[in-house]
Amino acid sequence: MARTRDFSRVSGAGTRVACPSHVELCSYFLGRALEAATATPIRAAASIIGCIGFVMPRMLWPVLAVALCAPGLKAQSDQTENILRQAISLHQAGNVEGAIPKYEAYLKARPDSMLALANLGAAYAHVGRYGDAISEYKKALASEPGNAPIEMNLALAYYKSGQIDDAAKTLQKVHQVSPADTRPTLLLADCWLAMGKNKEVIDLMSPVAERQPDDLAVAYLLGTALVRDNQVERGQVVIDKILRNGDSAEARLLLGTTKLGAMDFAGALQDLTKAVELNPKLPDVYSYYGLALLRTGDAAGAENAFRQELASNPNDFNANLQIGVLLKQDENYEGALKYLRHALDIRPGDLAVRYQIASIDFARGGAEQARKELESIVKESPKFTEAHVTLATVYYRLKRKDDGDRERATVAALNAEAQEKQPGVHVK
Amino acid sequence: MKLTRRHILSLAGAGAARLLATTPNASPLFEEVPASSSGITWTHENAMSPERYLPETLGPGCAFLDFDNDGWMDIFLVNSGPSDFYKPPKPLRNALYKNNRDGTFTDVTEKAGVAGGSAFGMGVAVGDYDNDGWPDIFVTAYGNCTLYRNNHDGTFTDVTKKSGLETPGWTTSAVWFDYDNDGRLDLFICSFVDYGKTEHLSCGDNKLGKHYYCIPRVFRGTASFLYHNNGDGTFTPVQAGTDIAKMMGKGLGVVATDINNDGKMDLFVANDTVQNFLYVNRGKDKSGKWQFEEIALAAEVGYSENGQARSGMGVDAADVFNSGYQDLFVANVDQEMFSLYRNQKNETFRDVAHPNGVAQSTRLLSGWGLKFFDYDDDGNIDLILSNGHPDDMIENYSMQVKYKEPLVLFHQDGGKLHDVSKDAGPAFSKMYAARGLAAGDFNNDGRIDILVANNGGAPLLLRNQSGAGNHWLGIRLIGTSCNKDAIGARIVWSAGGAVRSRLKNSGGSYLSSHDPREVLGIGSAAKIDYVEIHWPAPSGKVEKFTTLPLDRYIAIEEGKGIRG
């Protein structure tokens, strides 16, 4: 079942609005954007652009205007332009599958048509062909660099296809062009949260939260980032604000996340269980619920929760990582790699994921491959003790005793350093 | 009995023993023997103080031993005692209980002269160090250790000073083994942390405003001790110049085993909050110095599979999967999960705790004493774990982790371990602050019983009632040219078409010492085809026996055949 971040109930918006199923990855704030869009005639027109564009109607209006009103188009009555008209007509009628070959045919004759490229991209996205959509959007942008609506569509296609890093980069461009536009800002924050860039989210959302103190969507994103960045006190202020609006899945998720960070696993489980009850469609909710289950001894339940998360949100980093680790523990290395590699797609360069992949390489006999990756990891993160431990083991296995001893000494030094930071005073 | 689908699945997954155990009228696998029945009324004094000095929470150990050589397992229990942080209001003592051969025991501590009372006792290691055929007792402590030599008349003599085994500091588990194969038992002693000489670390107040037991991470590690048996009642420390002296650990558990089948006993040491150590016995180096090489990192038994040092406490070794090689086990604290290391036959191991359900069953537990043993005599190695969180205030911070924890029992079936605790009996539903655990057949019925030493409480004696219908042979090995306890001997036996082998390891568990006899389970087989004894060096002799009784104990003496 598709899930959305439906925040309308919390925000008191009155009308419960959910994103349509084909945009299940969109967040609660996109639901709000849709809600606003329903009051305008643009929404129907926006559907021409396709499912992803559907959520950004105002931004896409200029593209649509070109589609419907460009005088050159009206004047041209040749067969080629008729194909485009047919494509748009089919698209408007909801026959996206029928529109696609028309767009494709038109583009054979007019390969540089920004309009056709953008609409074909949207049509592809509508039917789930995100790779093709991205390709078309890029071509459209080549024709018209910097077109914000198409950039936005491209970002959403990236997001939908799990290329969160690319989505974020693209959204950053949109955000720079229109910094006051909350929607790309919120989506950018959402991407960064998925990538673990909590500090960036805090920097991005703090001024927005000051400008829009009553916007609970903003509060939620900022609060999540603060909690994940262990800024518990600041996070608590934000959580309180959300809680003042009544019990909600979002508030419970935040509370549960906070308790997980504080290692109060049983308390976290209580909140996250409630969050799941209140809104099982809330993105991340099953992912964190799974973590709480794992920490309270229910590995089977945890795996089930992670899979539930992935069923509706294949790009959840945590769930991919945790299932990868669980499968690795069961020595199902191929299965583990599938999830871990996807986690790496979501957070490119993530050290924890790379470490897991390297340890699988090692377990499968690829000591040399593991060595290269682990050397790269400890170079990037010299205090990553676990990576030094495994690298030492790899060196010993490769009969490189001196290197192993060196890594072992590094581990000892890191441990000694950690020990110095331990609490404790001498008493008689 | 009507078999439901669940029963059938249970049968497929965990074997018939498990199914039988779930039958409402079936006897529990293990039954608690209350003090009122056993006569074991001694209780451990943990000396818990408002300051929460760490030694208070780490003891005690326990042992099954036949101190009077009457063929019945007696019991030894270690107590705390005076120290620089504790002055007992009344004298404290260890306890030695003589087995009355009727399920009851008599306290003979004072007569035997093993009461102790001069140090804060921790653990016990039993071994016949002087090869006189009588078990001697070594007690570790926070403070000096004690060696009690058996006088063959129901009494012991404290020979610590004369032997050179005083070993100050904070010692925990110890193990008797013959590292140099000279036919005499040497001694390895785990040293825990540098706890300070005149002052101790306090970790301050917790959320309740009370002192709590420091996590050992705050203390510096120490080197353990290896003593060579000189054969004249004295010992010489020989760790200097070996990895044993170089490695600063926080040793809590140790087992002597042979991980590479080279005939030399190795040591696996569980360390708390730092990596475990695997000391492989490399024999003499060019200078004639006996060397142990620490290879835990290379062998992948030093850290978790994610490269993290854990809180290693109890350990054991056994050929769990009948591969001919010794596998290893380490118990850790909650959230770390315990490790079951499968021997890869090349001095490396792989943690298979997850595929065996061990990781899942132990995620919330803190494990101490433990033992690989065949509790139902079906020929497969099973496992028992005793648990308890070291911090008595843990429940104030954690809703899911308890101070007192249940015992856990695993049954092996189809080459995998399955948690059968729920079916093991009421004793497995109770909670304990368990520390030491010893396995031994106190009623000589061929089913190995369990003794658990509880911190600050009475010990728990469990009578094994499992394995009905399964046959067995109990063997006491007596070395003549090898060490008298025959530690390092390999027993190979064939029954019912299956050939199995067992290495006579030493130590294991936590602070504790097991029944030295080996019980060979043969399941429903009607006879044992043969038993081969591969005696350890110096003889290395192999003896084969084909005419063997069933369901009783025998003694086999090196070069002299079956006795008694």
pLDDT digits over B536-553, tens only?
999 999 999 999 999 999
Section A72-83 average pLDDT: 67
Q: Which is nearest to B507 in space by CA: B221, B178, B144, B169?
A: B178
Q: What is the pLDDT of residue A24?
A: 25
Query: HSE on the CB side for A406, CA within 13 Å?
Result: 8
State the Cα–Cα distance between residues B489 and B487, nearest whole angstrom.
6
pLDDT, tens digit, 9 for 90 and up, residues A96-153: 999 999 999 999 999 989 999 999 999 998 887 888 999 999 999 998 898 988 999 9
State the Cα–Cα distance between residues B354 and B212, nearest whole angstrom.
32
Give the closest of A330, A355, A424 to B214, CB-based.
A424
ipTM confidence: 0.86
Give the strand pairing for B327-330 and B105-107. unpaired
- Residue A384 to chain B, least CA–CA distance (Å): 10
pLDDT, tens digit, 9 for 90 and up, residues A302-326: 999 999 999 988 888 999 999 999 9
State the Cα–Cα distance between residues B366 and B383, nearest whole angstrom.
16
> For the purposes of burial, counting CB atoms within 10 Å of the CB of A277, is it exposed (0-12), middle (13-18) or buried (19 or more)?
exposed
Sequence-ordered list of residues with C-beta below 8 angstroms from that of B511, at least 6 positions apart, any chain: B59, B60, B61, B62, B78, B122, B123, B124, B140, B172, B173, B368, B369, B435, B436, B453
Residues in chain B within 8 Å Cβ distance of A418: 217
Sequence letter at residue A203:
D
Q: Per the CB < 8 Å rule, is A389 touching B302? A: yes
Bridge partner list, B490: B503, B534
Q: What is the pLDDT of residue A214?
A: 82
- Residue B189 to chain A, least CA–CA distance (Å): 23
Q: Per the CB < 8 Å rule, is A329 touching B354? A: yes
Residue B12 has pLDDT above 80, yes or no: no
3-state secondary structure of B421: helix
**Residue-range domains of chain A with CATH:** 319-421 (1.25.40.10)
Section A235-261 average pLDDT: 83
Residue A7 has pLDDT above 90, yes or no: no
State the Cα–Cα distance between residues B126 and B480, nearest whole angstrom.
18
Residue B116 has pLDDT above 60, yes or no: yes
Residues in chain B within 8 Å Cβ distance of A269: 400
- Residue B222 to chain A, least CA–CA distance (Å): 13
Task: Determine contact: A403 vs chain B, CB below 8 A.
Answer: no
> For the purposes of burial, counting CB atoms within 10 Å of the CB of B15, is it exposed (0-12), middle (13-18) or buried (19 or more)?
buried
Residues in chain B within 8 Å Cβ distance of A264: 397-399
Q: What is the pLDDT of residue B115?
A: 97
CA B121 to chain centre: 17
Sequence-ordered list of residues with C-beta below 8 angstroms from that of A191, at least 6 positions apart, any chain: A159, A164, A167, A168, A171
Chain B, nearest residue to A386 by Cα: B307
State the Cα–Cα distance between residues B53 and B70, nearest whole angstrom.
41
What is the per-residue burial (b if ≥16 Cβ within 10 Å, else e) of A163-194?
bbbbbbebbbbbbeeeeebbbbbbbbbbbbbb
A285 token code pair: 């909710």
Residue B164 has pLDDT above 60, yes or no: yes
Residue A48 has pLDDT above 50, yes or no: no
- Tell me the C-alpha to C-alpha distance, in Å, between residue B100 and each of A169, B36, B552: 80, 14, 19
- Residue A254 to chain B, least CA–CA distance (Å): 19
State the Cα–Cα distance between residues A331 and A328, nearest whole angstrom.
5
C-alpha Rg value of chain B to the nearest Å = 22
Counts of helices then strands in chain B (DSSP H, E):
8, 40
Phi, psi dihedral angles at A342 (to 5 degrees): -70, -40
Q: What is the pLDDT of residue B460?
A: 98
Q: Per the CB < 8 Å rule, is B201 touching A297? A: no
Q: What is the pLDDT of residue A427?
A: 61
Q: What is the pLDDT of residue A31?
A: 30
Q: What is the pLDDT of residue A79?
A: 83
Give the closest of A297, A390, A418 to B400, CB-based.
A297
Q: What is the pLDDT of residue B21?
A: 39
- Residue B356 to chain A, least CA–CA distance (Å): 9
Residue B525 has pLDDT above 60, yes or no: yes
Give the closest of A264, A389, A404 to B303, CB-based.
A389
Sequence letter at residue A105:
A
Bridge partner list, B461: B33, B451
Whose structure tokens read 């079951």? B340
What is the per-residue burial (b if ≥16 Cβ within 10 Å, else e) of A298-311?
bbebbbebbebbbe
Residue A44 has pLDDT above 60, yes or no: no
Residues in chain B within 8 Å Cβ distance of A331: 352, 354-355
State the Cα–Cα distance between residues A238 and A255, nearest whole angstrom.
11
Give the closest of B307, B355, B359 to A389, CB-based.
B307
Residue B197 has pLDDT above 90, yes or no: no
Q: Which is nearest to A50 in space by CA: A103, A14, A4, A9?
A: A103
Residue A23 has pLDDT above 80, yes or no: no
Chain A, nearest residue to B355 by Cα: A330
Section B514-525 average pLDDT: 97
Cβ proximity of B196 and B268 under 8 Å: no
Residue B458 has pLDDT above 50, yes or no: yes
- Tell me the C-alpha to C-alpha distance, in Å, between residue B364 and each of B333, B367, B431, B467: 8, 10, 13, 29
3-state secondary structure of B542: strand
Task: Determine contact: A421 vs chain B, CB below 8 A.
Answer: no
State the Cα–Cα distance between residues B559 and B445, nearest whole angstrom.
27
Section A394-412 average pLDDT: 96
> For the purposes of burial, counting CB atoms within 10 Å of the CB of B36, is it exposed (0-12), middle (13-18) or buried (19 or more)?
exposed
What are the start-end ranges of the H helices in B119-214?
A: 160-163
Considering chain B, what percentage of its residues have pLDDT values greater than 70? 95
Which pTM value belongs to this model? Answer: 0.79
Residues in chain A within 8 Å Cβ distance of B335: 295
For B218-266, give the secondary structure using H, E and C.
Answer: HCEEECCEEEEECCCCCEEECCCCCHHHHCCECEEEEEEECCCCCCCCE
State the Cα–Cα distance between residues A6 and A1, nearest whole angstrom.
14
Q: Which is nearest to B383 in space by CA: B509, B495, B469?
A: B509
Q: What is the pLDDT of residue B331?
A: 98
Considering chain A, what percentage of its residues have pLDDT values greater than 90? 46
Section A13-27 average pLDDT: 24
- For chain B, what is the mean pLDDT? 93
Q: Per the CB < 8 Å rule, is A389 touching B200? A: no
CA B20 to chain centre: 29
What are the start-end ranges of the H helices in A262-350?
A: 265-278, 285-295, 299-312, 317-329, 333-346
